Chains A and B, each alone.
Chain A
Amino acid sequence: MNAPRLKFRKLDIKNGRIDLSHGSGGRAMAQLISEIFKEAFANDLLAQGNDQAVFEIPAGRMAMTTDGYVVSPLFFPGGNIGSLAVHGTVNDLAMSGAKPMHLSASFILEEGFPLSDLQRIARSMGNAAREAGVKIVTGDTKVVERGKADGVFISTAGIGIVPDGINLSGENAKPGDAILVSGTLGDHGVAIMSSRENLEFETQIVSDSAALHGLTAAMVEACGPQLRLMRDPTRGGLAATLNEIASQSGVGIRIEEDALPIRPQVAAACELLGLDPLYVANEGKLVVFVAASAAEKLLTVMRSHPLGQDAAIIGHVVADDHRFVQMETSFGGGRIVDWLSGEQLPRIC
């Protein structure tokens, strides 16, 4: 007689939910990793099944970054926490001029989280990684009791290769430099807010979440030596990014309100909620500081890339010991564009 063969029933992804056994290090965890993550991320390094990925690296310098994702709601117009976790980390690498290479992904899952949602998220991550030309080569899964997390939290880290001769840093801005953005501001933040349950306003605005490495590669190739720095204005929006750079480089920044690309729908939503688009998050946009002489050329290069069609020159760097970021309003007056204090909260009247 044949010995009975051990046969596992496949995960019931349609109706199943995460339970504590999925994080216990036992068979259930192995099955979860294999049927959801390995399937979605599919690559040779992950398939080896080791606790670490071992790979060859080219000579030169590397960039490394890490980021945590706790977005609520998990699914929003234009993406979900999974695609965001890939795009955000790829972009942080790309802002150094690096070519992103490998990512890691760590998941904190809440007991009771639907497996179907987890699969959707994992597949979005896999797709986003393939589109960005990176591999998710190692990962980790933990499960916490119900109520101890908000569905799923994801941490990703990444490494990339920095081309020779490229040295971008927040301290490089010099008086006279031109400042450009790659497109419309505030789309991600407004898309997220419109889908939060206590707001419920209808809009066509989708998140701009996208991997920017292709755009940055084109920019580096065209204007590499003239580029001072790039940064993606995520949380805190353009205002936070400009203040960071003014403070790092010890310079002042002057921008023009009329030059800022902002979609009318985003402007209207911000108006309604009492928000300022300058402080609203972006996930597929970058700010670049460049020597003034190369500004027009860079603008042309950016505009010819699909993710830079709405690029614009928005201002310039000045010498200013106070390190103020100032804006000339469309109205004709001047104002400071300050750091955000606290959370950006709607006003009552």
Chain B
Amino acid sequence: MKYVDEYRNGKLARAIAKTIAAEARPDHDYRFMEFCGGHTHAIARYGLEDLLPKNVRMIHGPGCPVCVLPIGRMDDAIKLAQNPDITLCTYADLMRVPGSNGMSLTKAKAAGADIRMVYSTLDALRIAQEEPQRKVVFFAIGFETTTPPTAMAILTAQKLGLQNFFVFCNHVLTPAAIQNILESPDVRELGRIRIDGFIGPAHVSTVIGTRPYEFFAEEFQKPVVVAGFEPLDVMQAILMLVRQVNAGRCEVENEFIRAVTPEGNLKAQDLVSLVFELRDSFEWRGLGQVPYSALKLREEFAAFDAEKIFSVTTVPAKDNPACECGAILRGVKKPVDCKLFGTLCTPETPMGSCMVSSEGSCAAHYTYGRFRDAKVPEKVAS
């Protein structure tokens, strides 16, 4: 597969791994956080951990939109779907996410709710056009990558004069979440985790550019490398971070020069700011309330805002008290540190957010990496 296989070349990967091992100082433990679930997935799926030296460790961040969606918002979506007038259009990975009382969109659908899985906002728009008698609500979630298409859909609906298309907006912002982690007591005061640098998601930066990260690099003295999602991209980014740490540099570097620019996609940014504005605060599952970390529809587009039209009032709901997702999302704990991991909480019966989406760190570790926890004990010589 052209333009894909090149970035999955095992030979090159082993060469980069060798360089990382040679350049990483043996007296230092390197701890990097990949913010995005896409990177977590790539690291687990291609077994990158096996290629890295022991003193270079990846901490999995909170960048999975499904994982960080709070239970209360999931309950809202289920409630919307149960309204007999509403057709709820959703991306498929939200179907199995448990809300309160073990309810999910899959179960609501089985009980008769009109829920359709869509691949893009265009599908939702088409349904609204074809079925004018239905109130079509698009369950919008995602980081900066999925926000411009939602904005585009709202503008298109406005242009077409569609009066039965609405958006339940749960779009969140990457830089705000990284800042929240860096400012958390775990990192700042308690020193429970040390993060030497970040890998930033390339697809987010194709939209927002690399500029928004310059603030962290400076303010928090942390290097950031914006990287693609192919395994070689990730390896290269790790090498770039090791080099920055070794040289004492804290810069924003761009590994994904094939599509990311410092400014990003200005047209998409304009579109987003035309339709959306910042929420004062938004709850992230695992992180709690994070100020200025999410978007809502501007007043001019209130007619498309499902929250307003259907009077959504989110009731906060609590995670299972034994669930360690919060600490895992902040990088304080690993999946195996959680009592529920692999016992009560599995991909079939996810209890916490990190097990819900395939990009969550618990699901990725369970699905691809749990053989590492189960090393067969060495036979004792008789």
Contacts and interface: CB of A to CB of B under 8 A. Distances in A.
Interface in B72-103: 91-93, 95-96
A349 B47 contact: no
Nearest to B350: A341
B370 interface: yes
A326 B357 CA distance: 21
Interface string B212-253: 000000000000000000010000000000000000000000
B348 to A, nearest CB: 5
B72 to A, nearest CB: 20
Interface stretch (A34-42, A209-217, A328-336): A328-336
Interface residues on A, range: 20 to 34
B51 A333 contact: yes
A333 B234 CA distance: 14
Contacts of A336: 367-371
A332 B358 contact: no
Contacts of A59: none
B145 A329 contact: no
Contacts of A334: 47, 50, 371
B358 A349 contact: no
Interface residues of B, number: 48
A346 B14 contact: no
Nearest to B66: A348
B51 A332 contact: yes
B1 A267 contact: yes
Contacts of A267: 1
A196 to B, nearest CB: 11
Contacts of A331: 8, 10, 13, 46-48, 51, 231
A271 interface: yes
A345 B367 contact: no
Contact of A322 (B47, B65, B119, B374): B374
A342 interface: yes
A333 B374 contact: no
B93 A347 contact: yes
Contacts of B50: 332-334
B118 interface: yes
A348 B93 contact: yes
A1 interface: no
A37 B129 CA distance: 42
Contacts of A264: 1
A11 interface: no
Nearest to B359: A347
Interface in B1-60: 1, 4, 8, 10, 13-14, 17, 38, 44-51
B146 A330 contact: no
Nearest to A267: B1
Given A198-B123, A349-B145, A333 B1 contact: no
Given A335-B368, A348-B91, A348-B93, A342 B348 contact: yes
A129 B203 CA distance: 51
A268 interface: yes
Contacts of B93: 345-348
A348 B119 CA distance: 8
B371 A321 contact: no
A57 interface: no
A107 B231 CA distance: 48
Interface in A294-349: 320-322, 324, 326, 329-336, 338, 341-342, 345-349
B1 A332 contact: no
A199 interface: yes
A346 B357 CA distance: 11
B197 interface: no
A322 B372 CA distance: 11
Interface string B335-364: 000000000001110000000011100000
A199 B117 CA distance: 12
Given A268-B1, A335-B368, A198 B119 contact: yes
B336 to A, nearest CB: 14
A320 B374 CA distance: 10
Contacts of B142: 348-349
A66 B10 CA distance: 44
Contacts of B368: 335-336, 338
Ordered nearest first, which 9 A-B pairs have the shortest CB separation?
A: A333-B47, A341-B347, A345-B92, A333-B50, A348-B91, A335-B368, A331-B46, A332-B10, A334-B47
Given A329-B47, A335-B44, A348-B66, 17 more contacts: A198-B123, A267-B1, A268-B4, A271-B4, A324-B374, A331-B8, A332-B10, A332-B17, A334-B47, A335-B45, A342-B348, A345-B93, A346-B93, A347-B358, A348-B141, A349-B38, A349-B203
14 contacts: A198-B118, A326-B371, A331-B13, A332-B47, A333-B49, A333-B51, A334-B50, A336-B369, A341-B347, A345-B95, A347-B93, A348-B66, A348-B93, A349-B145
Interface of B: 1, 4, 8, 10, 13-14, 17, 38, 44-51, 65-66, 91-93, 95-96, 117-119, 123, 141-143, 145-146, 203, 231, 346-348, 357-359, 366-371, 374, 376
